[in-house]
């Protein structure tokens, strides 16, 4: 059967405004959107730019906006959409477009790094005489088990209403999820410093719990829940008196 794709095209080096091109692709309902994009590039227009690597939902490099929603092209099948109509494929929202479906991920990774406290001196080992690894119980590991599944695809940031409409400088759900991973790790030694970083402008309190990050996450991570856990920890450990008054 033939499936119609409406694909975003833009080359900032040669064009002033973006446009869309329509491609008709031979595909079956169980094929991936990524398979269809590859077929377009291989058989119809080799200039179409998009990222891919593992093609199995592990690397997170093929995040796109498909019919208006953030997703990995390698995870979404043709049958996930109404393929009797056009399937619109666009770059991830929020990020600057490099070319076609490729976006500049530098703002994303800058935000990921921004949640770390400044290190002025190397931290001393917990025990210089220790001869074994730093063990952790399954219960301790479970506190951040969800967060380590993150593949840094940026789908959550591209879907976040705060980033898109309210506060573009918001650090974003992916960075806050990464912060939760370290805050709840029993081996972390600088939790207080990390929480203070999160309280800076555009940090954790900018999250309005819209749950869009959780909705689009390709790894089914409960992102909003992790952010709420972080907020609770900050209130309990940095502002216990204020919490009691409330």
Task: Report d(CA 74, CA 28) in Å as an integer.
Answer: 15
SS3 label, residue 212? helix
**73-218-174 Cα angle (round to 5):** 115
**Residues 185-194 pLDDT 10s:** 999 999 999 9
Average pLDDT over residues 66-79: 98
Task: Report d(CA 44, CA 48) in Å as an integer.
Answer: 9
CB 147 within 8 A of CB 181: yes
**Residues 131-183 pLDDT 10s:** 678 889 999 999 999 999 999 999 999 999 999 999 999 999 999 999 999 99
**Residues 90-116 pLDDT 10s:** 999 999 999 999 999 999 999 999 999
Task: Report d(CA 104, CA 156) in Å as an integer.
Answer: 16
The whole model's pTM is what? Answer: 0.91
19, 98, 100 from 15: Cα distances, Å: 9, 12, 11
Size (the chain), residues: 246
């Amino acid at each position: 059967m033939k499936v119609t794709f409406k694909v975003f095209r833009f080359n900032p080096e040669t064009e002033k405004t973006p446009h869309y091109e329509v491609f008709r692709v031979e595909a079956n309902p169980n094929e991936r959107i990524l398979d269809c994009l590859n077929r377009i590039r291989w058989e119809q227009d080799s200039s179409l730019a998009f990222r891919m690597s593992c093609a199995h939902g592990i690397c997170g490099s093929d995040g796109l906006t498909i019919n208006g929603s953030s997703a990995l092209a390698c995870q979404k099948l043709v049958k996930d959409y109404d393929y009797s109509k056009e399937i619109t494929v666009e770059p991830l929202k929020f990020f600057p477009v490099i070319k076609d479906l490729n976006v500049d991920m530098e703002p994303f990774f800058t935000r990921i790094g921004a949640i770390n406290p400044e290190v002025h001196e190397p931290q001393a080992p917990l025990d210089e005489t220790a001869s074994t690894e730093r063990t952790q119980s399954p219960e301790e590991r479970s506190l951040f088990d969800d967060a380590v599944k993150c593949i840094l695809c940026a789908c959550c940031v591209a879907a976040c209403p705060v980033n898109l409409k309210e506060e573009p400088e918001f650090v974003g759900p992916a960075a806050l999820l990464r912060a939760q991973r370290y805050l709840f790790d029993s081996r972390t030694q600088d939790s207080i410093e990390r929480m203070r970083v999160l309280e800076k402008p555009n940090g954790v309190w900018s999250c309005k719990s819209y749950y869009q990050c959780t909705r689009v996450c390709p790894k089914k991570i409960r992102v909003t829940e992790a952010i709420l856990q972080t907020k609770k920890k900050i209130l309990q450990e940095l502002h216990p008196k204020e919490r009691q008054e409330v």
